[in-house]
Chains A and B, each alone.
Chain A
Amino acid sequence: MGMPISIHLRGEDVDSPIVVRVVEDAFDLLREADRLFSTYQDDSEVSRIRRGELDLEQADPLVRQVVTLCRQAGELTAGAFTDQLPDDDGVLRFDPTGLVKGWAADRGASRLADLSALTFCLNAGGDVVVGGAAAETEGEGQGASGGASGAPWRVGIEDPRDRSRIAEVVELHHGGVATSGTAARGAHLYDPGAQTFVGRAGSVTVVGPSLMWADVWATALFVGPASLVLRFSELADGYRVISL
Chain B
Amino acid sequence: MRRIVTSILSTISIMVLLFSYHTSTNGTTAAASPVVQQPASSGSTSPARSSKKTQHSTSKPGSAAASSATYTGGVADTQWGPVQVQITVRSGKITRARAVQYPQGNGNDAQINNYALPILDQQVVQKQTAAIDTISGATVTSGGYLQSLQSAIDQAHL
Q: Determine how close the nearest CB of chain A comes to the CB of B47; give it in whole angstroms.
A: 13
Q: Determine how close the nearest CB of chain B comes to the CB of A44; give it in whole angstroms.
A: 12
Give B105-158 interface residues, CB cut-off 8 Å to A.
114-115, 117-119, 121-123, 127, 130-144, 147, 150
Which of A6-14, A51-59, A63-71, A76-84 lies at the interface?
A: A6-14
Which of B17-25, B58-66, B96-104 lies at the interface?
A: B17-25
Q: B36 at the A/B interface (Cβ < 8 Å)?
A: no
Sample of 10 further A-B pairs with CB below 8 A, known A3-B20, A166-B127: A1-B21, A3-B140, A4-B17, A14-B13, A125-B139, A154-B132, A156-B136, A158-B136, A164-B119, A164-B123
Asked if B20 and A183 sit within 8 Å, CB to CB, the answer is: no
Asked if B140 and A2 sit within 8 Å, CB to CB, the answer is: yes
Q: B49 at the A/B interface (Cβ < 8 Å)?
A: yes
Asked if A9 and B138 sit within 8 Å, CB to CB, the answer is: no
What are the interface flags for A122-156 relative to B under an 8 Å C-beta threshold, 1 for contact and 0 otherwise? 01011110000000000000000000110101111
Partner of B135, one of A2, A8, A126, A148: A126
Q: A-side binding surface: helix, strand, loop or mixed?
A: strand
Q: A235 at the A/B interface (Cβ < 8 Å)?
A: no
Give A1-40 interface residues, CB cut-off 8 Å to B.
1-15, 19, 23, 27, 30, 34, 38, 40
Residues from chain B with Cβ under 8 Å of A11 in the complex? 10-11
Measured CA separation A13–B114 after assembly (Å): 38
Asked if A34 and B19 sit within 8 Å, CB to CB, the answer is: yes
Asked if B123 and A166 sit within 8 Å, CB to CB, the answer is: yes
Measured CA separation A155–B16 after assembly (Å): 17
Q: A157 at the A/B interface (Cβ < 8 Å)?
A: yes
Asked if B132 and A128 sit within 8 Å, CB to CB, the answer is: no
Partner of A126, one of B24, B122, B136: B136
Knowing A4-B19, A148-B10 touch, does A126 contact B144 (C-beta < 8 A)?
no
Q: Determine how close the nearest CB of chain A comes to the CB of B29; give it in whole angstroms.
A: 9
Asked if B13 and A158 sit within 8 Å, CB to CB, the answer is: no
Residues from chain B with Cβ under 8 Å of A180 in the complex? 138
Q: Which chain B residue has the least Cβ–Cβ distance from A13?
A: B50
Q: Residues of A with Cβ closer than 8 Å to B?
A: 1-15, 19, 23, 27, 30, 34, 38, 40, 88, 121, 123, 125-128, 148-149, 151, 153-158, 160, 162-166, 169-170, 177-185, 203, 205
Q: B56 at the A/B interface (Cβ < 8 Å)?
A: no
Asked if A157 and B136 sit within 8 Å, CB to CB, the answer is: yes
Interface residues of B toward A: which range?
35 or more
Q: Determine how close the nearest CB of chain B comes to the CB of A89; give it in whole angstroms.
A: 13
Q: Determine how close the nearest CB of chain B comes to the CB of A41; give it in whole angstroms.
A: 8
Asked if A184 and B136 sit within 8 Å, CB to CB, the answer is: no
The 8 A-B pairs at the shortest CB distance, nearest first, are namely A158-B137, A164-B118, A4-B143, A181-B138, A14-B13, A148-B10, A156-B132, A2-B21
Measured CA separation A19–B3 after assembly (Å): 12
Asked if B140 and A125 sit within 8 Å, CB to CB, the answer is: yes
Asked if A126 and B139 sit within 8 Å, CB to CB, the answer is: yes
Q: Determine how close the nearest CB of chain B comes to the CB of A201; give it in whole angstroms.
A: 11
Measured CA separation A153–B34 after assembly (Å): 23
Q: Determine how close the nearest CB of chain B comes to the CB of A142; give it in whole angstroms.
A: 17
Measured CA separation A163–B10 after assembly (Å): 30
Q: Determine how close the nearest CB of chain A comes to the CB of B77; give it in whole angstroms.
A: 9
Asked if B15 and A203 sit within 8 Å, CB to CB, the answer is: no
Residues from chain B with Cβ under 8 Å of A123 in the complex? 134-136, 143
Asked if A15 and B139 sit within 8 Å, CB to CB, the answer is: no
